[in-house]
Every structure is written in structure tokens, then in C-alpha cells.
């Protein structure tokens, strides 16, 4: 078929042709002309690829959206920066100001000493052996005669650069004084951390091996060396034996004999149905030797032990005399005084057997 469309007609039809608005017959005629006319074909290509010009109103809307987007990103960045700053401030406040409750025990690095040099007053001096920890927010609460001293552990700073601290506590109407979870004074008697640990670990039955292990761990037996536990609970007298693995000679153990009998007496008092305790050793030649303390023996010697102690410390609170060593487990103060009295019993030759 002869192509009867002129370039002028085709150029008029091209916009409609590109948008697909022309009829099939017109399409056929336009395409036949485009196949033979490079100029019109180039115009068709240009029309097909050219973007539709935006109206002035649309251009303004696009610019506005771009501005909003840029403003949104700036706000997001500012929010992230503020959040990071607040987080850093919170962490710093937690570490240097707020801290965490101090949970002191004998393994912590905060130490204290107690003094009763002033009548009716307990003076507590707190100090740390480490420079990377400080304490703040000291509080002293008295509820029904039970005083608790607490603090918070923080990192040193210009606000709190040391843990050295004094508390002066009036003992008027006070029955007990605690530092965190440790009893340090009861009824006129200063309580050592060791006796507080032993007292809190007390158990009624020597057959309860885990509980017995806690009692022994609270004492000082591990200072001598490793040991295994042997229980005799089939018949009375019920006996607890500590078999030490390292060789020791009588009188040559690192812990003195008097200190050994102190801990043995405390164990007899604090384990309800224990009748005897033995610390068994072997010397360098493998020869066995041991130290044994029984409830019967200790009960027999209590009057002498207590009388000697009270004579030595007549200015302090007298140690009570009970018929049975088990009665000293009734309070931490009684156990502390029995423990102290056993040291002087050893010094006086009642139990110390240095060879």
C-alpha cells in the first residue's frame, strides 16, 4: 500500500500515537511512514522518551516535600544524639552517683572496726583497701532497737573520692547493730564476721552433710589445708571427723592449737546433735595423730573456762555459764563469748597440747 501520509500529518498524529490514542488504521499508516522517514522516526523516539513537564504547582509541591524530608532527617539525627546523651548521663549517674546497694561480707574489700570506748556509744570506722571503689548514701535506721547501717557502692569521683567513713551510734535502747546483712554488735558484745557466719550456718543434724559443710566453711579449718569429712551417725556418740591431707606434726600446724580448739568448740555448739569432733592428721612419716573435743569434756570444763574469761575481762560483759555447750547457740553474742573464752582456755593450758 502506498504511504499517502505526509510528514506534517504524521507529526500531528505522533503525540496521540505515542499515547496510544490513534486507531489501528492510523497506527498502520503512521508506522509505515516512520519506517521510511528517519526524521519522523527520530521525533517519535524523542516524544516517547521525554518526561511530561510538571506543572508549576506540582514543582512547588515536590520542592516542599524535599524540604520536609530534609527537616525530618535532621530531627531524627537530633533525637538520636539526645538519646545517646541521655543514655551516657544515665550511665554516669548510675556509676558515680546512684551506685548499687553495698553487699558486704568477709570477701568484700570494705572493712570496718567497732569501738565502745565512749560509754553508751558504738563507733564504727569504715575503710576500703582499694582505691577504685567508694561508698555514699550512708543510712542508719533504727527499728525496734535493731540498727542497720547501709550504703551504696559507687565509682570514685570528685563527688565521692573515698570510702573512709565514721558512724557514731547511740546504744540507748539498741539490741543489735547490723552492717548490711552482718550482725556486728548484740547485747553489749561485738560480733566478729566469722562468728556471724558460723551462727547463720547452724544446723540441728550432723547427718546433713551439706549443712555441716557450710558450718565448717564458715570456720577457719581450711587455713590448715584441704580436708575430707567423715560422719559417724549410725550410733551415738555422733562424731564428725576432718581428715586433713597435708602432713603436719603436732604443734606444727599453721593455725595454733588454741585457734583449732576455738573452732572445734564452735562447731560442737552450733550443730545440734553432734557429740564429738576430731581433726585427724598425719606427720611427715605417715604416722596418724589427732585432736578430739567432745561435748561431755567441754561441758565439764565450762565452769573453769568461763570463770577464767570473766576474770580476765571483768570490765566487759560477763560470759554466761550454761550447763551445756549447745546453749551457746541460742544467740550470736553467747557464741562469740564462748569462742573468745576458748582462746584463753588454750592459752591457759586447758586444751593446747603443743609438743
Residue-wise pLDDT tens digits, 34-44? 888 888 888 88
Contacts of 260 (CB under 8 A, 6+ apart): 224, 253, 279, 291
pLDDT at residue 354, as a whole number:
42
pTM of this structure: 0.69
Residue 135 contacts residue 164 (beta carbons within 8 Å): no
Give the pLDDT band (50/70/90) at residue 344: confident
**Secondary structure percentages of the chain, helix, strand, coil, to 5:** 45, 25, 35
- pLDDT tens digits, residue range 189-238? 999 988 999 999 999 999 999 999 999 999 889 888 899 999 999 999 99
- Tell me the chain's radius of gyration from C-alpha atoms: 45
Going from the C-alpha of 169 to that of each of 38, 128, 151, 287, the distances in angstroms are: 108, 20, 15, 54
pLDDT tens digit sequence for 210-220? 999 999 999 88
3 state DSSP class of 211: helix
pLDDT of amino acid 36: 84
Per the CB < 8 A criterion, the answer to whether 191 and 184 are in contact is yes
Strand partners, 100: 153
Tell me the C-alpha distance between 150 and 165, whole Å. Answer: 12
- Which class for 59: exposed (0-12), middle (13-18), buried (19 or more C-beta within 10 A)? exposed
pLDDT of residue 13: 82
**pLDDT score for 298:** 96
Q: Do 335 and 328 form a contact (C-beta atoms < 8 A)?
A: yes
Torsion 45-48-53-54 (CA) sign: negative
State the sign of the Cα–Cα–Cα–Cα dihedral 292, 294, 299, 300. negative
pLDDT tens, residue by residue, 271-324? 999 999 999 999 999 999 999 999 999 999 999 999 999 999 888 889 999 999
Residue 7 to residue 40: CA distance in whole angstroms: 7
What is the structure's pLDDT at 226? 93
Measured distance CA(102)–CA(58) in Å, rounded: 66
Neighbours of 330 (CB within 10 A): 12
User: Hunting for cell 584463753 — which residue is that?
Assistant: 344
Asked if omega into 237 is within 30° of 0 (cis), the reply is yes
Amino acid at each position: 500500500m502506498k504511504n499517502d501520509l505526509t510528514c506534517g500529518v504524521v507529526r500531528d498524529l505522533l503525540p496521540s500515537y505515542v499515547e496510544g490514542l490513534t486507531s489501528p488504521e492510523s497506527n498502520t499508516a503512521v508506522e509505515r511512514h516512520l519506517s521510511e522517514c528517519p526524521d519522523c522516526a527520530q521525533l517519535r523516539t524523542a516524544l516517547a522518551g521525554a518526561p511530561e513537564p510538571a506543572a508549576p504547582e506540582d514543582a512547588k509541591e515536590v520542592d516542599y516535600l524535599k524540604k520536609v524530608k530534609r527537616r525530618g532527617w535532621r530531627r531524627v539525627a537530633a533525637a538520636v544524639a539526645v538519646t545517646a546523651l541521655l543514655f551516657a548521663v544515665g550511665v554516669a549517674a548510675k556509676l558515680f552517683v546512684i551506685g548499687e546497694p553495698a553487699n558486704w561480707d568477709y570477701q568484700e574489700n570494705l572493712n570496718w572496726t567497732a569501738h565502745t570506748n565512749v560509754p553508751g556509744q558504738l563507733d564504727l570506722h569504715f575503710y576500703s583497701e582499694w582505691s577504685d571503689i567508694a561508698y555514699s548514701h550512708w543510712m542508719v535506721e533504727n527499728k525496734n532497737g535493731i540498727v542497720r547501717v547501709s550504703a551504696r557502692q559507687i565509682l570514685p569521683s570528685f563527688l565521692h573520692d573515698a570510702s573512709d567513713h565514721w558512724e557514731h551510734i547511740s546504744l540507748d535502747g539498741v539490741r543489735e547493730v547490723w552492717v548490711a546483712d552482718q550482725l556486728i554488735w548484740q547485747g553489749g558484745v561485738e560480733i566478729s564476721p566469722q562468728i556471724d557466719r558460723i551462727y547463720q550456718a547452724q544446723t540441728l543434724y550432723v547427718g546433713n552433710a551439706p549443712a555441716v559443710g557450710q558450718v565448717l566453711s564458715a570456720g577457719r579449718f581450711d587455713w590448715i589445708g584441704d580436708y575430707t569429712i567423715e560422719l559417724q551417725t549410725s550410733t551415738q556418740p555422733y562424731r564428725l571427723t576432718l581428715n586433713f591431707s597435708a602432713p603436719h606434726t603436732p604443734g606444727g600446724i599453721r593455725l595454733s592449737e588454741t585457734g583449732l580448739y576455738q573452732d572445734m568448740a564452735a562447731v560442737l555448739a552450733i550443730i545440734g546433735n553432734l557429740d564429738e569432733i576430731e581433726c585427724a592428721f598425719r606427720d611427715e612419716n605417715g604416722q596418724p595423730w589427732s585432736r578430739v573435743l567432745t561435748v561431755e569434756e567441754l561441758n565439764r570444763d565450762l565452769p573453769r573456762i568461763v570463770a577464767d574469761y570473766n576474770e580476765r575481762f571483768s570490765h566487759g560483759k560477763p560470759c554466761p555459764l550454761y550447763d551445756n555447750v549447745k546453749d551457746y547457740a541460742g544467740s550470736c553474742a553467747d557464741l562469740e563469748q564462748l569462742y573468745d573464752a576458748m582462746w584463753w582456755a588454750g592459752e591457759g593450758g586447758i586444751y593446747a597440747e603443743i609438743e
